């Protein structure tokens, strides 16, 4: 493959012509959602500027909680830009929590994983104060799905809903993405979910049928690896969805990803 072909294999924005408009619409919807639910935002779990939680607690403290980790290839976006994904499960009485994390190149992938695990440690210790005592379902989109997959072994997690993730990191080192990530051999080995022991907790691995082939293949391989390890695994192709429109299925109370979250709980 040429350099251009390697870059294109993982360039979701270029693969979806209206990706900028889709992202802008999600950010606008998230501003509205945060403004309507301003009571438990920007809760620090560490000392760095992005080490914060946004909490949207349910009325029932025993309700399940969706912990959603945003994507952006570990180098773009903010938790605030994804607040609107809370709408789907919140309509079913769930809590939702969104952690932030430092982006590359200010942080290495090792640093980012450590921050997510630290955020979950903090949540485990403080969940009573925010009325989030039910099952915690980890979720993440794109890079967030890789982070959720790695964090699935954390004590606080009951299950995971992985959306449009990258689960083998080695190919990224030969793409434009590595200019900021600067992935090491150790990071690729330790943080590629396909190379790690499978955690036997329920996992749904979702992808859009209009995704880039590399992401579809990663999802299918992770599902196969979990089956071979006799771990609870569901593969969920979302018909007609691309890397960005698939999130609509979590934003909507009637979306297929919302329904899948309900099943995982």
- List the CATH number of the domain containing 197: 3.40.50.1820
Number of Cβ within a 10 Å radius of residue 69: 28
Q: What is the pLDDT of residues 157-202, one digit of tens each?
A: 999 999 999 999 999 999 999 999 999 999 999 999 999 999 999 9
Across 237-247, average pLDDT = 98
In three state form, how does the secondary structure of 75-131 look? CCCCHHHHHHHHHHHHCCCCEEEEECCCCCCCCCHHHHHHHHHHHHHHHHHHHHHHC
Residue 104 has a CB neighbour count (10 Å cut-off) of 22
Q: Beta strands 95-99 and 136-141: pairing type? A: unpaired
Examine the pLDDT at 235 and tell me if it is beyond 90: yes
Residue 102 Cα distances to 59, 178, 190, 213, 251, angstroms: 31, 16, 19, 28, 25
Whole-prediction pTM value?
Answer: 0.98
Question: For the segment 32-70, what is each residue's pLDDT rounded down to a tens digit?
Answer: 999 999 999 999 999 999 999 999 999 999 999 999 999
The total of structural domains in the chain comes to: 1
Q: Largest Cα–Cα distance in the chain?
A: 54
Which pLDDT score is estimated for 261?
98
User: Residue 100 belongs to what domain range?
Assistant: 3-264
Q: Is residue 1 very low, low, confident or very high in pLDDT (cuts 50, 70, 90)?
A: confident
Residues 126-133, mean pLDDT to the nearest whole number: 95
Across residues 243-252, what is the average pLDDT? 98
Scored b (16 or more CB within 10 A) or e, 232-258 reads ebebbebeebbbbbbbbbbbbeebbbb
Phi, psi dihedrals of residue 13, rounded to the nearest 5°: -65, -40
Q: Are strands 203-208 and 159-163 parallel, antiparallel or unpaired?
A: parallel
Label residue 251 by pLDDT band (50, 70, 90). Answer: very high
Mean pLDDT of 101-106: 98
């Amino acid at each position: 493959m040429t350099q251009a072909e390697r870059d294109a294999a993982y360039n979701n924005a270029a693969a979806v012509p209206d990706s900028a408009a889709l992202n802008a619409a999600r950010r606008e919807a998230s501003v509205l959602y945060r403004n309507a639910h301003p009571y438990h935002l920007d809760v620090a779990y560490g000392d760095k500027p992005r080490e914060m939680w946004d909490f949207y607690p349910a009325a029932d403290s025993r309700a399940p909680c969706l912990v959603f980790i945003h994507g952006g290839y570990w180098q773009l976006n903010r938790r605030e830009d994804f607040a609107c994904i809370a709408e789907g499960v919140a309509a079913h009485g769930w809590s939702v929590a969104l952690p932030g994390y430092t982006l590359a190149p200010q942080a290495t992938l090792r640093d980012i994983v450590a921050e997510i695990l630290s955020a979950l440690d903090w949540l485990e210790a403080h969940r009573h104060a925010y009325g989030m005592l039910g099952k915690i379902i980890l979720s993440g989109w794109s890079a967030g799905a890789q982070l959720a997959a790695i964090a699935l072994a954390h004590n606080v997690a009951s299950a995971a809903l992985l959306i449009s993730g990258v689960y083998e990191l080695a190919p990224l080192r030969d793409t434009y993405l590595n200019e900021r990530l600067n992935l090491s051999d150790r990071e690729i080995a330790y943080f590629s979910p396909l190379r790690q022991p499978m955690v036997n907790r329920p996992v749904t691995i979702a992808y859009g049928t209009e995704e880039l082939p590399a992401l579809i293949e990663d999802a299918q391989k992770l599902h196969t690896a979990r089956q071979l390890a006799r771990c609870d695994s569901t593969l969920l192709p979302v018909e007609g969805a691309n890397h960005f429109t698939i999130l609509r299925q979590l934003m909507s109370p009637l979306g297929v990803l919302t329904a899948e979250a309900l099943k995982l709980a």
